[in-house]
């Protein structure tokens, strides 16, 4: 089966992007380091939150050298509000690898990008496309949905075939704009339910639209555990308490947090310690602080 998109489809997508693409602060940057930061921030995080935090983070660490040299605790403090704090630790480790192994320059080769801590296939392709103009197609949830609907009417497709289709669809002259465009189409038009097919520039080539497949009704909401009762919530509250402490000082944590009893809090602390996000005082395990709270750690 031919998974390619014709030049007319590429042109329609880029024309749509020129008039309707989202304006986001980090999209104005051509700095590979700034693009890497934005893409790591965007992992599992709403783009609106990234837009609000990226500029402040870049002000705090305007170069990969400064990020690599910063104490980990400072990086974790600057990450506040973005969630999934391990990404901040990985970004710091990636900065050190860039300085130590790549002369302080973000690498442009996919293989080198994928070897950086916290950078997988998607993020590597996003940086290669957006920062270096390489004709590769990063596939996130939104892009995956767009391509599956256009090529396979929203049916299944082996991951390798989907990635090949994504790479093959990229126009060589505007790979960065193409990447942004597919992300925007998936986020604003080709939505999981109630897609706005009439507004989609890919409608003339879309197998999903041609089949006229009705969008299934949303399933009835199931009972979902409140976020405040999840381990992720209590982990975030623990890190926030340590962020609020003066740099270098220890914080005593020996009580329940929200609905989480001391056993649950201890379990969350243990997980955060194993992941390298916090450390315990050697003489009193109830005293905690962010990892690397002392300069040079």
Sheet holding 251-252, edge to edge: 251-252, 287-290, 278-280
Structure tokens at 278: 């916090």
Residue closest to 287 by CA, chosen among 257, 255, 250, 261: 250
The per-residue pLDDT for range 180-223, each reduced to its tens digit, is: 999 999 999 999 988 999 999 999 999 999 987 655 555 555 66
Active site residues: 39
Cα Dmax for the chain: 68
The pTM (predicted TM-score) of the whole model is 0.87
**Could you tell me which residues come within 8 angstroms of residue 106 by beta carbon, excluding any fewer than 6 positions away?**
32, 33, 36, 64, 98, 113, 127, 131
The per-residue pLDDT for range 235-273, each reduced to its tens digit, is: 999 999 999 999 889 999 888 899 999 899 889 999 999
Give the bridge partners for 288, in sequence order: 251, 280
**Could you tell me which residues come within 8 angstroms of residue 88 by beta carbon, excluding any fewer than 6 positions away?**
75, 76, 78, 79, 82
Report the C-alpha gap between 290 and 278 in whole angstroms: 4
- Of 2.10.77.10, 3.40.640.10, 1.10.287.90, 1.10.340.30, the CATH number of 7-211 is 1.10.340.30
Report the C-alpha gap between 254 and 285 in whole angstroms: 10
**Could you tell me which residues come within 8 angstroms of residue 136 by beta carbon, excluding any fewer than 6 positions away?**
110, 125, 128, 129, 167, 170, 175
Structure tokens at 78: 């600057």
């Amino acid at each position: 089966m031919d998974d390619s998109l014709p030049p007319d489809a590429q042109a329609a997508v880029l024309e749509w992007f020129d008039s309707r693409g989202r304006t986001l602060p980090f999209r104005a940057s051509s700095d590979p380091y700034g693009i890497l930061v934005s893409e790591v921030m965007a992992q599992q995080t709403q783009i609106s939150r990234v837009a609000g935090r990226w500029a402040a983070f870049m002000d705090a660490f305007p170069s990969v050298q400064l990020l690599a040299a910063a104490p980990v605790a400072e990086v974790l403090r600057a990450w506040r509000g973005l969630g999934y704090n391990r990404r901040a630790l990985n970004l710091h480790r990636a900065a050190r690898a860039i300085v130590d192994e790549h002369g302080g320059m973000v690498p442009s080769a996919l293989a080198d990008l994928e070897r950086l801590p916290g950078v997988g296939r998607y993020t590597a392709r996003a940086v290669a496309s957006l920062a270096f103009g390489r004709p590769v197609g990063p596939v996130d949830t939104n892009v995956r949905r767009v391509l599956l609907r256009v090529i396979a009417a929203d049916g299944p497709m082996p991951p390798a075939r989907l990635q090949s289709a994504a790479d093959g669809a990229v126009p060589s002259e505007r790979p960065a704009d193409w990447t942004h465009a597919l992300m925007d189409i998936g986020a604003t038009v080709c939505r999981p339910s109630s897609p706005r097919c009439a507004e989609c520039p890919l409608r003339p080539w879309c197998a999903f639209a041609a089949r006229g497949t009705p969008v299934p009704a949303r399933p009835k909401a199931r009972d979902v555990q409140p976020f405040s009762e999840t381990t992720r919530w209590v982990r975030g509250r623990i890190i926030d308490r340590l962020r609020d402490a003066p740099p270098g000082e220890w914080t005593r944590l020996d009580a329940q947090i929200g609905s989480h009893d001391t056993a649950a809090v201890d379990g969350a602390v243990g997980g955060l310690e194993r992941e390298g996000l916090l450390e315990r005082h050697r003489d009193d395990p109830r005293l905690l602080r962010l990892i690397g709270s002392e300069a040079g750690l």
